[in-house]
Each structure stands twice: as structure tokens, then as C-alpha cells.
Amino acid sequence: MRKKMVDRSSLPIGARVLVLFAAAFVYPRDAAPQKTPPELRENQPAETVFKNIQALKGMRAGDLQGAMSFIASSLNVDCDHCHVQDFSKDERKEKLRAREMIRMVRQINEESFAGKNTVNCFTCHQGHAEPMALAPIVPPPPRATEAAAGKPAGPPLPSVGEVLGRYVLALGGQEALDRVKSRILKTVRLDGGNSGSVTMIFQKGPGRVLRSRESPGYSLWVGSNGTHAWAEDSLKSYWGLLNTFEQHAILRDAEMYQGSRLESQYSSVKVKAAEKLQDEDTYVVSGTSPEGTSEDFYFSVETGLLLGRHIEEQTVFGAFQVRADFEDYREIGGVKMPFVVKWSSPGGAWGTRTSFKVLDVQQNENIPDEKFEGPPSKSR
Ligand code: HEC
Ligand code: HEC
């Protein structure tokens, strides 16, 4: 059986799938919105960066991986369902069929849905390589909106300011948070994969971050110096571009506490609902990040702490959901932080993180600025 792959960034050498990280330097959209250099590989049309693009001509090269993650997760298959070692080859009939399907989907949307991504691979496939041929005999449960329509309205929702204010207080208060200028986290994967290999996360305000995982077989560095994000792995097994999901994940990694950019940098921020998240009552705050992801933050009604974060990444076919759960909050130097962070996404896409637990935290250590400028080969 072809299995989904969860963490492509930890593949052993010789794995069939290339790991898609990049040495290219990129300006995050919020840092230099108008000045993104057009010559960057990720901004070029996919057909000029990749070898055999026919159906997706004109798409940004940096968006290809998101599109592929969307396709793979819609069918619940891994890349090698359609691809052989050389991804440009048209050897598998599934790839040819998929290309026809891409054209079909675009045509349906063009002709019947005013060019919007209304119909996509998931609409029919719903997580199966072969879509279901028969309608189910048992009728599906009524839609949530219908069920909820008759219910009396609950108590009024608090304001954004109230929810975020309580969050900051629960973390230790603004003053305590401001005192943390830098942080070094030693983390390990929760699933025990990669036999105990450690990922170090260095953060330094504002917006600087480095994640590094160094091991004899494979090392990976991703980071941002506050202006541009970069990524590189020791195999240099990438297409020479920083994919959009990874770029966004780096911006999130740079947050000194989860959601720290919500109030100052997100647009359309509102308290959208009171909902249960894993049996806990939460207030859901939604907003759009400067990089264009739609996000929901779940704050515990009881403690005020952030319990979950749902992120919708856009692909050429539609939205792709990435989610994080935060657990085991502990206090370090007057501020609380989650010691367990669980990431999930359908099929596990690049740029999404693996679930980890924190082994050790150091705060306000002096981290040299050069560390955030690029991979060790370039900056040290
Ligand atoms: C259901 C089939 C299918 C799956 C699954 C799939 N792809 Fe693709 N992939 C395609 C098709 C079709 C194309 C060509 C698109 C075109 O013609 O524009 C393509 C093109 C590519 C290319 C461009 C290669 C080149 O140089 O021309 C890359 C890279 C790629 N896919 C990576 C991946 C990765 C990585 C995965 C796993 C997440 C994946 N794909 C999953 C069907 C698939
Ligand atoms: C309108 C419904 C519909 C949509 C939308 C759709 N498919 Fe399909 N697809 C089917 C049906 C039905 C089959 C099975 C019959 C066949 O293969 O002709 C199929 C078969 C396939 C197969 C061959 C079966 C296999 O073993 O993998 C691939 C690959 C595929 N689809 C990929 C895609 C991709 C990629 C997209 C999105 C770009 C997509 N499909 C969107 C209906 C759809």
C-alpha cells in the first residue's frame, strides 16, 4: 500500500522523494510588499523552473508544491502515486490522468463558476484515488447550520481586545513578555521519528528565527533575518526555491509567542464564535495574516491560553488546512509557553512542522545577528 508521508524533511539519504528546500532569499510579503524582486525563482512561471509543466503553465513556481500537496491530500496518496524519481517524467499513467483532471477542473471552474476555485480534486475524490461511484444509502446528517438555526443565541461574545488581553495576561503579562528578547529552544519530535534527533530553534525579536536540525546523514536550516526568509538542507535536494507554505511557516516560527502578530498585523480580526476544541470551551478569533493566510485562534474560556491555531493556505486549487494544538503550558522566567506543539495537515505538506516537545529553554542568551542571515555555510 502506498502510504502518506508525514515528515518529508526528515528523509534518509536516497529516499525517493526530493526534499524541497531552498537557498534562495525571499522577501516576505509583509516586509516589502511592492519590492519583491521579479527575478526570484519562486516568482517565475512554473514552466521556466520545472521541466515538464503543461497544465499548470503560468502558475508561480513557489506555488507548485502547495498545489501538489493539495492534489496528494485530496486523493490521499503519496507523491509516488503519480511520480517516479525524476518528477518531470510522464511514466505513470496516474500522472497523465491527473493532468487531464487538472485541465477538467480548470474548465469546469472557468465555464460554470466564473473562474473561482469552486470545484477541485477533493470535491469528487474526498480522500480516495478512485472516487466513490455510489451515493450512500444512509442519508447524511443534517447540515450544522440548519441544526443550529433553531437554537437560542448564547451569551454575547467578548471583544477581540478582551480575548487577546486575557491571553497576554495568562502568558505572564505584556511586561514579562517584553523582557524576553531572545530564546533558544531544544526540541524533539513527538513521534520519536529520526531517532531522537534534536531541532534547535533560535528566536530573536523582531522577526528573527533560525531552526536547525543537524545530524550526520541530513541537516536542515530554515530561517529569517526579519526581512527575508531562507532555507537550505545539506543534500541541496531542492528545486532552488522557497515554497510558499515553508515561507509562511518561517514567519510563524519567528513569533516570540504564538499569535503575537495577531493584534498588530492581521486584518479583519474578530471574535467569530464560542466553540468546543477537544472538550474545552474556547473563543475563536479569526483574522487574515499579512502573508494572506486565513487563520482561526482558539483561546480557552477558562484559562485564556491559546489551545489551537488553524491556518488556511491558498493553493491554485483551493484552501489547504494546517493545524496546531498547544499543550503543557509551563512557566519559564515569568512567561508561559506550550511545551508540546502538535502540528497536522492532510497528508503532511512541506513547510508544515512536525509535532514536537520542548526539552530545554534558554532566554535572553546573546545570539549573534549573523546566525539569522543564512545557512552556516554562508554566514559562519
Ligand atoms: C495525482 C497525481 C499527482 C500527485 C499525487 C502528485 N503530483 Fe506532482 N505532478 C502531477 C502532474 C500531473 C504534474 C504536471 C503538471 C502540469 O503538466 O502542469 C506534476 C508535476 C510535478 C512537478 C514538476 C516536475 C517537472 O520538473 O516538470 C513536481 C516537482 C511535482 N509534481 C512534485 C510533486 C510532489 C513532491 C508530490 C507529492 C506531494 C506530487 N507532485 C504529487 C501529478 C501529481
Ligand atoms: C468531477 C469529479 C472529479 C474531479 C473534480 C476530479 N476527479 Fe479525478 N477522477 C474522477 C473519477 C470519477 C475518476 C475515476 C474514473 C477514471 O479514472 O476515469 C477519477 C480518477 C482520477 C485518477 C486516476 C485514478 C487513480 O488511480 O489515481 C487520478 C490520478 C485523478 N482522478 C486525479 C485528479 C486530480 C489531481 C484532480 C484535481 C485536479 C481530480 N482528479 C479531480 C472524478 C474527478
Give the neighbor-by-neighbor strand order of the sheet with 229-233: 229-233, 220-225, 208-213, 198-204, 182-189, 356-363, 335-344, 319-332, 306-314, 294-300, 280-288, 267-277
What is the identity of the amino acid at 287? Answer: G
Domain housing 12:
8-125
CA 369 to chain centre: 26
Boundary (domain end) residue, out of 75, 104, 125: 125
d(CA 154, CA 256): 34
- Cβ–ligand 1 contact at 8 (below 6 Å): no
Are 100 and 214 part of one and the same domain? Answer: no
Closest C-alpha to ligand 1, atom 37: 79
What is the identity of the amino acid at 109? Answer: N
Which residues neighbour 248 within 8 Å (Cβ) at sequence distance 6 or greater? 289, 291, 293, 311, 313, 351
Are 121 and 167 part of one and the same domain? Answer: no
d(CA 356, CA 324): 11
Q: Is residue 138 part of a domain?
A: no
Q: Is residue 136 part of a domain?
A: no
pLDDT confidence of residue 2 = 38
Q: Is residue 197 part of a domain?
A: yes
Give me the residue label for grid cell 509562511: 248
d(CA 255, CA 342): 17
- With contact defined as beta carbons under 8 Å apart, do 246 and 222 qualify? yes
Cell of 215: 545530524
Instruction: Count the domains in the chain.
Output: 2
Whole-model pTM over 0.85: no
Q: pLDDT tens string for the chain (380 positions)?
A: 333 333 333 333 223 233 333 323 333 333 333 444 556 788 899 999 999 999 999 999 999 999 999 999 899 998 999 999 999 999 999 999 999 999 999 999 999 999 998 999 999 998 889 887 777 676 666 666 544 555 556 788 999 999 999 999 999 999 999 999 999 999 998 877 666 689 999 999 889 999 998 888 888 899 999 988 888 888 765 566 788 888 999 999 999 999 999 999 999 999 999 999 999 999 999 999 999 999 999 999 999 999 999 999 998 898 888 999 999 999 999 999 999 999 988 765 566 688 899 999 999 999 999 999 988 766 44
Q: Is residue 275 part of a domain?
A: yes
Are 99 and 182 part of one and the same domain? Answer: no
pLDDT confidence of residue 194 = 61
Residue among 316, 296, 311 at smallest CA distance from 352: 311
Q: How far is the CA of 98 from the centre of ligand 2 (A)?
A: 7
Q: How far is the CA of 68 from the centre of ligand 1 (A)?
A: 6
Of 92, 112, 124, best ligand 2 pocket probe by most atoms within 8 Å of the beta carbon: 124
d(CA 281, CA 298): 9
Helices 244-253, 64-75: crossing angle, 10 deg rounding: 100
Boundary (domain end) residue, out of 74, 109, 125: 125
Question: What is residue 118's DSSP assignment?
Answer: -
- With contact defined as beta carbons under 8 Å apart, do 350 and 70 qualify? no
What CATH number is given to the structural domain containing 196?
A: 2.50.20.10
- With contact defined as beta carbons under 8 Å apart, do 31 and 228 qualify? yes
* Alpha carbon distances (Å) from 299 to 40, 101, 165, 331, 358: 38, 40, 11, 18, 21
Enclosing H/E stretch for 323: strand 319-332
Of 96, 101, 109, 116, best ligand 2 pocket probe by most atoms within 8 Å of the beta carbon: 101
Q: Is residue 3 part of a domain?
A: no
pLDDT confidence of residue 34 = 40
Are 70 and 189 part of one and the same domain? Answer: no
Burial 321-334 (b: 16+ CB within 10 A, else e): ebbbbbeebeebee
Are 262 and 320 part of one and the same domain? Answer: yes
Are 114 and 185 part of one and the same domain? Answer: no
Which ligand has the shortest distance to the CA of 72? Answer: 1
What is the identity of the amino acid at 316? Answer: V
Of 8, 11, 57, 95, best ligand 1 pocket probe by most atoms within 8 Å of the beta carbon: 95
pLDDT confidence of residue 235 = 76
Q: Is residue 34 part of a domain?
A: yes
Q: Is residue 239 part of a domain?
A: no
d(CA 355, CA 341): 6
